[in-house]
Amino acid sequence: MSEEKTTMEKEKAILPDITNIKTQETFTLPSKGLIYDKEENIPASITLRRMTTKEDKMRMRNESEDKIRRDILQACILDEGVNAGKLKLADANFLFFRLRALSLLDDIYKLQLVCPHCGTSFIHEVKLSELKINYMTKDKLKNMNVQLPMSQVEIALKLPSLEDMIKVGDTLRDYYQKFPDVDRTEAIYTASAVIYIKTINKQTVMREEVEDWLDNLDILDNRALRRKLAEIDELFGIDTDMKCLCPSCQLEVSHGLPITAELFNPSL
């Protein structure tokens, strides 16, 4: 009798409030769709449905994380004609965390942190429904251009999409196969900046030419460009500049919001 009760309690813990489940939900994107060109066809809000076994299985594919994320989102996006690959990373990450809460009915995301003050390792629980979201505004769109201080070159910037990340991952993999001795950190350093460049002095430029231009950029121009890229990465999305108190020394610990196995396999 008592054993039976324990089993029931366990099931209740796994399936909380199953009488009131939303099968789908609409979310306003952090970008509010403002950052996209018309042909990219990303609306201000996206409707997701709950995940099924099919999407859970996709997580096990032997593919890059970006491809898996694109495919899972694509399967769960109910809006017609929306290509998940076109989603900017900040929007895609936001939807991924919302998809988790919608699918697993679990609002708690556990982070393993190490206190930089006393070295204590601890688990911090983040409530996903309480994440602070920064939204894009028309005003902030002005930040997508930069003039470099030394060369005076004008750069129009774009934020990378899931598709851009997939492409750059594939390109780098091919490159490493052709040149196994190449320094990977250096290759990533250039490739990760190229995907942000939309136009140089209002001209669309081929990827190889952008790489070449970047590698020959004056060091001060390069620093200014990198600072700008870091700045536009923060224009919208989940505010990952988070803080909590160390349970041991009570001092403040800053942390981000990495996507870990906890996202779709939360530990009890």
What is the three-class DSSP state of 230? helix
Residue pair 257/238 in contact (Cβ under 8 Å)? The answer is yes
- What the block records as the tokens of 174 is 């091919």
Token pair, residue 87, equals 């989603």
CB-nearer residue toward Zn ion: 248 or 254 = 248
Nearest distance in Å: CB 254, Zn ion = 12
How many residues would you count in the chain?
Answer: 268
**Chosen residue from 115, 159, 217, 235 binding Zn ion by CB under 5 A:** 115
Q: Is the Cβ of residue 7 or residue 121 nearer to Zn ion in the bound state?
A: 121
* 118 versus 182: smaller Cβ distance to Zn ion: 118
Stretch binding Zn ion (CB under 5 A), from 84-92, 115-123, 130-138, 231-239: 115-123
Binding Zn ion by CB under 5 A: which of 10, 117, 127, 173?
117
**72-98 as b/e, with b when 16 or more CB fall inside 10 Å?**
bbbebbeeeebebbbbbbbbbbbbbbb
Binding mask 226-265 for Zn ion (x = CB under 5 A): --------------------x-xx----------------
Beta strands in 180-241 (DSSP E): 197-200, 237-238
Q: How far is the CB of 117 from Zn ion (least distance, A)?
A: 5
Q: Could you say whether residue 123 binds Zn ion (CB under 5 A)?
A: no
Distance CA 185, CA 245 (A): 34
Q: Which of residues 90-109 bind Zn ion (CB under 5 A)?
A: none
| Residue closer to Zn ion (CB basis): 16 or 116 | 116
Sign of CA dihedral 62, 67, 239, 97: negative
> Angle formed by the axes of helices 184-194 and 219-233, to 10°?
70
Alpha-carbon span 154 to 148, nearest angstrom: 7
Q: Does 118 bind Zn ion (CB under 5 A)?
A: yes
CB closer to Zn ion out of 72 and 246? 246
Query: What residues make contact with Zn ion under the rule CB under 5 A?
Result: 115, 117-118, 120, 246, 248-249
